[in-house]
Amino acid sequence: MRIVLLGPPGAGKGTQAKKLAERLSLAHISTGDILRQNVKDGTALGKEAKDFMERGLLVPDELMSKMLLERFSQSDIGDGFILDGYPRNFAQAKTLEDIFRQKNIEIDMVVYLDSSDKVIIQRLSGRLVCNTCGANFHITNMPPKTKGICDKCGGTLFQRTDDKEETIKKRLEVYKGEVSGLIKYYQDKKKLYRLSADGQADVVLEEIVALTKKLYGSPKV
């Protein structure tokens, strides 16, 4: 089963993707993880990406697509995958389609995790990120066992500058301007399924699992 998770920032794509991948025994593919791993391993693509990052620039789509192409060449995706963090706009969707065409991959479904602005602001403004392993926590929804310390690696937790309320609102405006074409693209392909992501993470997970079971009847769910 090959699933793409879409949704606004704060909808819980990363959290749901990890849990869903474990539940369905599928590979979890995150563009953020791919980027960090390439930089950490010092690959040619990672070095190139690091140069952009150190200059405070976004990693170009062309470079990210090369990393994705390599990732989709790995053997662990044989039984399927959960992709989150990409695509974010129509242009990236076309790039992803080109990658899938080269790898003879056909996605089964695109799940759009819809979330209200109020919930997104509440989630992101309380988000804490580990400066070592990148794990996410939340001041009220998922606090660390020890204040300011990552449960997983002991790293220091911090709040990203783009998780301030006013910045979040601006990010949402930009996102809404880009996502309409992306939604229509997958609707036209009859691949898109929308679910509310405003509820508790475990409840949302069960709704995604129920959707996959309804559509494909996978014995793994």
The tens digit of pLDDT for each residue in 169-220 reads: 998 998 998 899 999 999 999 999 999 999 999 999 999 999 999 988 754 4
What's residue 215's pLDDT? Answer: 87
Domains of the chain, by residue range, sit at: 2-116+167-216
Given the residues 2, 13, 71, 123, the one annotated as active site: 13
The CATH number of domain 2-116+167-216 is 3.40.640.10: no
CA angle, corner 215, sides to 213 and 218, nearest 5? 40
Catalytic residue among 18, 88, 191, 194: 88
Res 76: pLDDT: 93
55 annotated active-site? no
Q: How far apart are CA 70 and CA 116, in angstroms?
A: 35
Residues 80-118: tens digit of each pLDDT? 999 998 998 999 999 999 999 999 999 999 999 999 999
Residue 171: active-site member: yes
Note if 160 is an active site residue.
yes
- Nearest C-alpha neighbor of 195 from the set 65, 7, 61, 21: 7
Would you call 218 helix, strand, or coil by DSSP?
coil
* 194 catalytically annotated: no
For the question of residue 2 being annotated catalytic, the response is: no
Which of 19, 71, 123, 127 does the annotation list as catalytic? 127
pLDDT for position 221: 44
pLDDT band, residue 56 (cuts 50/70/90): confident
Residue 66 has a pLDDT of 94
pTM (two decimals): 0.83
pLDDT tens digits for range 29-50:
999 899 989 999 999 999 999 9
Determine which one of 50, 171, 194, 220 is catalytic. 171
